[in-house]
Amino acid sequence: MPRSPMTALSHRFASPAEPFSVRTSDGVRLLGSRLGHADPAVVFCHGFMGWHRKPRVGLFVEELSRWFTVFAFDMRGHGRSGGLCTFGDAEVRDVEAVLDHARGDGHALVATVGASMGGIAVIRHAALTGGVDAVVSISVPARWQGHASAAVRRMQWFTTTWQGRRLCRAAGVRLATAWNDPEAPEDVIGKIAPTPVLIVHGRDNHYFDEDEAWRLYRRAGEPKRLLLASRFGHAEDGFTPSFAERIARMLYQTWELPWPG
């Protein structure tokens, strides 16, 4: 079983968490945790260089489990799951496998929530495969190219040079050797409608600027919402208890469910 050196830094869930394992349609074994006992459910997808028990991610999914049953997992090529990371391409199969697991657990309403690379995966999954009841994308680029930030240049060095890829491997992130140049999020997001989509982005995102969120929003179909935050950062930077509650309230409103708070 693959094991990331970073798992030594993993969050210990304070609430009961049941481990689960699923296998994707292309044979990759994914490991995750089921938290909470509420209905509806959330499938949570972390970003690049993450895992579902990374401290901020673990705390965030634990907060979400106050209002949902949360299925959080290590995406392919990360943490304790198998396979190779493809930056949101084959990860569509990861989303589908865990979504099927949530449905099999008896949940009629399931939202997919993804941050950065995980957000790319949930947008592409909802657009190309469907079968989900709401989509929340957090800090997601609309396109593959055209980003001038220093943070993106750093990430490109890690993923495209042999030195960077070696460091990724040492950190427990296993990268695919080839990439299929899949459809960019902005090219497919319009296919998600009429499934509701919520796009969340920080105006202070140091990877992808605010225009990426607007590009996604303009090309999304209804119903759609755009949430821009002045102080949010990128992906897990903004994972606070208040943000978890805001996402929860928005999903309950979307589904016209009474707020249990």
d(CA 99, CA 110): 8
Which tokens in the block code for residue 94? 């990861």
- CATH code of the domain containing 70: 3.40.50.1820
In a domain, 38, yes or no: yes
- The answer to whether 39 and 64 have CB atoms below 8 angstroms apart is no
pLDDT of residue 5: 57
d(CA 105, CA 41): 10
Instruction: List phi, psi (to 5°) of 138.
Output: -120, 120
In a domain, 261, yes or no: no
Other beta carbons within 10 angstroms of residue 121's beta carbon come to 32
pLDDT of residue 1: 44
In a domain, 138, yes or no: yes
Q: What is the DSSP secondary structure assignment for residue 175, as one 8-state letter?
A: B
d(CA 34, CA 63): 13
d(CA 209, CA 206): 7
Q: How many domains does the chain have?
A: 1
Distance in angstroms between the alpha carbons of the first and the last residue of the chain: 40
pTM: predicted TM-score of the whole model, two decimal places: 0.95
In a domain, 260, yes or no: no
In a domain, 59, yes or no: yes
Strand 29-35 versus strand 69-73 pairing type? antiparallel
- Positions of the chain with pLDDT under 70: 1-8, 261
Which tokens in the block code for residue 121? 């995966």
In a domain, 259, yes or no: no
Amino acid sitting at position 221? G
Which tokens in the block code for residue 198? 């919520």
pLDDT of residue 47: 96
Other beta carbons within 10 angstroms of residue 195's beta carbon come to 20
Which residues, 6+ apart, have CB-to-CB distance to 69 below 8 Å? 34, 35, 36, 37, 38, 39, 40, 41, 42, 102, 105, 107
Residue 229: which domain range?
5-254
pLDDT of residue 9: 77
pLDDT of residue 7: 59
- pLDDT tens-digit readout, 72-124: 999 999 999 999 999 999 999 999 999 999 999 999 999 999 999 999 999 99
Instruction: List phi, psi (to 5°) of 215.
Output: -60, -45
Nearest to 29 by CA among 73, 92, 89, 87: 73
